[in-house]
Every structure is written in structure tokens, then in C-alpha cells.
């Protein structure tokens, strides 16, 4: 089957076209509809034709909120660093400023295998594998009353009619053309003046293989995997005041990969009625526990979560709900050598209408993803060079 080529038509829609490319309006393809890609799309949309492609059936990437009345369950990111200016600014633009919330409690506990003890500011952060700048330690995070998914939903609403957003669409390569780029997605090809690659690093390595051989290094980007299990209990089945953000488990006391627990219902009280306790347990899985013949099923992760919790808190009843979320190789780890690998790839993209965006390249976390998306949009907003 031949490749279908899409170009913007004069009425603003994308139309199939054959023949020599003749680009009239400025357009950019954004690959990846996580927070970085959506932010870039929003920034570009007022005066650029934007098409967003995401491989998943939904937008948001590592932000995924489930609303199961009366509960708000975060399956990915639960908030963003307190000092962030970029996220509240973006929230205000999409009408969410009044929904910003802070943590209801700040103190955290540590479990040493024997008992819980209150930790000093910042002691808990490193356990979760998120690299937190020194100045942010101990300040807690902010979020949205109805969860991080409300930011994705608001962005989606704002992009409606301003950008062509396509889910279930996996981009397979980016090609440099005489007057811009061509993005291949299955049997479709999108011609544009520029492209934002807002994916994980390993996806970017594949997408940019024909643009620069230096991109291959991105396939070896260091990452960590995570499994998060959220459990809902009747409040009286958990014999603890839940008067903190949660606990981290000392390395010597970790069993079956359990590293930390967030007392979600205490940290963000709007997420759960007082009759229930929402507790979120974080595991660092072995690769074979996530895929292959020995991969663990949801029931096993839930059993591990309940057992692990039972070592730390006294439970007098079973959970009434559970949500298991697997995030293979999702959390980038920024070493000096990885930072210089990204810089090296970006140097090779200099002068080309291609920008990398996202937490995979410019610092992990929600705030970094937004700032990176904004930077990519600024870079591609320059008028095309006269030809």
C-alpha cells in the first residue's frame, strides 16, 4: 500500500494530497501527546497549524487520572514541585487556576523494618526515584482538586478546533525534506515546517534515526521502572492516624520491591471521602516482573501491596478497591553522561526544524515537561527560512 500524504488545505483541514509539496501555511507536527507535547501544541496553536500524534488511545502520557466517584485515583504523576511557576501559569491559561491545591500535610515517615519514625525535610524524596533539586526538598507538591488528569483534559479542550489531535497514531520516522520535514505514521505522511519530538528517549532514537546517527545514543537512556498500587480501605480498617504524606521504606527493610507508600487521602483530602482511606504503594519492579513468562499479574501486585502495608500499619480489614499501574522504563535518570548525550543530539539538530521536548530530555517531572514543551514551541515558532 502506498503512503498517504497530508497537507493543510485552505479551509484549515488536513487533506490527502499527491504531487510536489507546496506548503502555504506554517505548520508543525508534535509527536507525543504527553504534557510536554500538549504544552508545545498549545503555545504553537494560535498562529501555526498543529497536528498532535500520540501512539496511545488517550492523551496525557505519564499523567493518567481515573475518576471513580467518589474517588480520584492517580495512576501516574500526582502533582508537581511547589516552586513551579510554569504549571500554575499554564493552568491559569486553560481555566484551572482555581483548582490548584497544596498538600494538606507535609510530614513524612520512614520505616526501618521495625517501626515508623518521622523524617526530616526532604529525606523521603530520593526513595521514589524522582530527582528533586536540593531547593525543592521538603516543600511538598501542588496538584489539582480533581487530579492531574484535569490539566490534560483542559489542554485537550483548549486545543479542540485549534489543532488536529490524533490518538492511536504511532509516528515511525521523521525525514528532513528540502522545505521542512515529513513525519511518517503507518501509512500516513505529514508534511510540515517543523516537528516537536515529545516522546520517551528510546522512541526519539527510532524516530530520528534517519536525521542524525547521533540519535542512536538515546536508545540507551538510563531509566527506572515503577509499579504503583492504589488501595482503598474502609477508614476504620487502617489502624493509624494517617497524619503524614506517607512513608518510605529503608533500603535494608525493603521486601518484594516495596519502597514507599503515599497516604493519598491525607495528602490531598479532596480525593476521597473521610469514610475511606486511599493508600498508594510504590514498587521498583525487576524487569522480568513486568514482561515475559514470569510477569506478575494484578492480583500478585495487590497481594504484595497488602502484605507490605501490613508490615508497617495494623490492618483490620481488606481493601474495597485496588488499581495497579505499570510504568516500564518510564523515569529518566539524569547522569552527567546522559545530559551530554542529549546535548550532543541537540547539537546535531541545530539548524534543523526539529526540537526535542519532554521530561526524557530536559529534567524529570511535570514542571520540567511544561518548560521543555514551551522551549520547543519557541524554537519552532521562528518564521521558516526563505527559500
Ligand X SMILES: Cc1cc2nc3c(=O)[nH]c(=O)nc-3n(C[C@H](O)[C@H](O)[C@H](O)COP(=O)(O)OP(=O)(O)OC[C@H]3O[C@@H](n4cnc5c(N)ncnc54)[C@H](O)[C@@H]3O)c2cc1C
Name the minimum Å distance from CB 41 to ligand X.
11
Q: Are the beta carbons of 365 and 332 closer than 8 angstroms?
A: no
Nearer to ligand X, 228 or 261 (CB): 228
How far is residue 297's CA from residue 355's CA, in Å, rounded to a whole number?
38
Nearer to ligand X, 193 or 362 (CB): 362
- Contact positions vs ligand X (CB under 6 A): 31-37, 53-56, 61-63, 76-80, 130, 170-171, 198-200, 203, 226, 228, 327, 330, 358-360, 364-366, 369
- What are the cell numbers at 120? 526530616
> With 0-12 CB in 10 A as exposed, 13-18 as middle and 19+ as buried, what is 18?
exposed
Sign, CA dihedral 44-45-48-54, equals positive
Name the minimum Å distance from CB 287 to ligand X.
16
Nearer to ligand X, 107 or 172 (CB): 172
Nearer to ligand X, 315 or 324 (CB): 324
Name the minimum Å distance from CB 95 to ligand X.
20
Name the minimum Å distance from CB 132 to ligand X.
9
Cis peptide before 278 (omega within 30 of 0): no
Nearer to ligand X, 103 or 237 (CB): 103
Name the minimum Å distance from CB 10 to ligand X.
28
- What are the cell numbers at 29? 507536527
Name the minimum Å distance from CB 58 to ligand X.
8
Nearer to ligand X, 65 or 315 (CB): 65
Nearer to ligand X, 63 or 242 (CB): 63
Nearer to ligand X, 71 or 356 (CB): 356
Nearer to ligand X, 30 or 315 (CB): 30
Nearer to ligand X, 183 or 312 (CB): 183
Nearest to 24 by CA among 1, 3, 48: 48
89 CB contacts (<8 Å, ≥6 apart)? none
Identify the residue whose cell numbers are 493519598.
Answer: 264
Q: Are the beta carbons of 249 and 311 closer than 8 angstroms?
A: no
Phi, psi of 358 (to 5 degrees): 125, 170
Amino acid at each position: 500500500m502506498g503512503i498517504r500524504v497530508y497537507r493543510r488545505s485552505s479551509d484549515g483541514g488536513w487533506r490527502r494530497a499527491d504531487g510536489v509539496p507546496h506548503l502555504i501555511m506554517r505548520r508543525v507536527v508534535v509527536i507525543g501527546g504527553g504534557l510536554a507535547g500538549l504544552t508545545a501544541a498549545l503555545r504553537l496553536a494560535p498562529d501555526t497549524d498543529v497536528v498532535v500524534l500520540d501512539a496511545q488511545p488517550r492523551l496525557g502520557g505519564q499523567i493518567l487520572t481515573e475518576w471513580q466517584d467518589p474517588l480520584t485515583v492517580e495512576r501516574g504523576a500526582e502533582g508537581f514541585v511547589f516552586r513551579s511557576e510554569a504549571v500554575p501559569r499554564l493552568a491559569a491559561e486553560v481555566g484551572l487556576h482555581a483548582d490548584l491545591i497544596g498538600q494538606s500535610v507535609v510530614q513524612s515517615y520512614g520505616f526501618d523494618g521495625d517501626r515508623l519514625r518521622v523524617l526530616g525535610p526532604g529525606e523521603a524524596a530520593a526513595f521514589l526515584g524522582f530527582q528533586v533539586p536540593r531547593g525543592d526538598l521538603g516543600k511538598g507538591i501542588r496538584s489539582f482538586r480533581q487530579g492531574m488528569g484535569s490539566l490534560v483534559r483542559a489542554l485537550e479542550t483548549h486545543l479542540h478546533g485549534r489543532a488536529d489531535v490524533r490518538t492511536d497514531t504511532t509516528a515511525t520516522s521523521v525525514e528532513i525534506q528540502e522545505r521542512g520535514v515529513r513525519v511518517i505514521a503507518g501509512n500516513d505522511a505529514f508534511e510540515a515546517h517543523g516537528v516537536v519530538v515529545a516522546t520517551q528517549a528510546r522512541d526519539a532514537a527510532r524516530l530520528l534515526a534517519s536525521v542524525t546517527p547521533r540519535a542512536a545514543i538515546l536508545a540507551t537512556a538510563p531509566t527506572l521502572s515503577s509499579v504503583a498500587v492504589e488501595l482503598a480501605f474502609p477508614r476504620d480498617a487502617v489502624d493509624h492516624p494517617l497524619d503524614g504524606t506517607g512513608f518510605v521504606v529503608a533500603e535494608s527493610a525493603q521486601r518484594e520491591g516495596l519502597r514507599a507508600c503515599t497516604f493519598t487521602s491525607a495528602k490531598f483530602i479532596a480525593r476521597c471521602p473521610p469514610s475511606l482511606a486511599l493508600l498508594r504503594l510504590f514498587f521498583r519492579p525487576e524487569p522480568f516482573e513486568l514482561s515475559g513468562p514470569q510477569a506478575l499479574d494484578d492480583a500478585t501486585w495487590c497481594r504484595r501491596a497488602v502484605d507490605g502495608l501490613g508490615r508497617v500499619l495494623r490492618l483490620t480489614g481488606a481493601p474495597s478497591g485496588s488499581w495497579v499501574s505499570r510504568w516500564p522504563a518510564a523515569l529518566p535518570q539524569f547522569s552527567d553522561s546522559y545530559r551530554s548525550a542529549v546535548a550532543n543530539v541537540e547539537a546535531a539538530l541545530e539548524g534543523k526544524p526539529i526540537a526535542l521536548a519532554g521530561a526524557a530530555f530536559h529534567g524529570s517531572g511535570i514542571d520540567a515537561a511544561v518548560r521543555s514543551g514551551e522551549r520547543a514551541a519557541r524554537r519552532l515558532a521562528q518564521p521558516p527560512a526563505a527559500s
